[in-house]
Amino acid sequence: MCKEMEEIHADGIREGFEEGKEIGIEVGKKEGIEAGRKEIAQTMASEGMSIEMIAKMTKSSIETIQKWLAEA
């Protein structure tokens, strides 16, 4: 491979790595936020709060809250 092609290839690899890194960080943030909401929902339920109120307070669907509570 000529030098120019090697540089283009290396640049592509770097760009791909950076894009993958950014996507990974974004996915991690979303998973962390959801894990926090799940933990809060489970705590609220253990304190006797209704599923409807938990859904409203965590900005989650009732179905999601029911799923999280079933996993607890």
Over residues 31-61, the pLDDT tens digits come to 999 999 999 999 999 999 999 999 999 999 9
On whether the CB atoms of residues 71 and 41 are closer than 8 A, the answer is no
Half-sphere exposure at residue 54, Cβ-oriented, CA atoms within 13 angstroms: 23
Joined tokens for residue 48: 């006797």
Per-residue pLDDT band at 12 (split at 50, 70, 90): confident
Joined tokens for residue 65: 């809250």
pLDDT greater than 90 at residue 29: yes
Calculate ∠ Cα 34-46-27, nearest 5°: 5
pTM of this structure: 0.73
Q: What is the CATH number of domain 3-71?
A: 1.10.10
On whether the CB atoms of residues 61 and 55 are closer than 8 A, the answer is yes
pLDDT at 5: 66
Per-residue pLDDT band at 13 (split at 50, 70, 90): confident
Joined tokens for residue 43: 């705590």
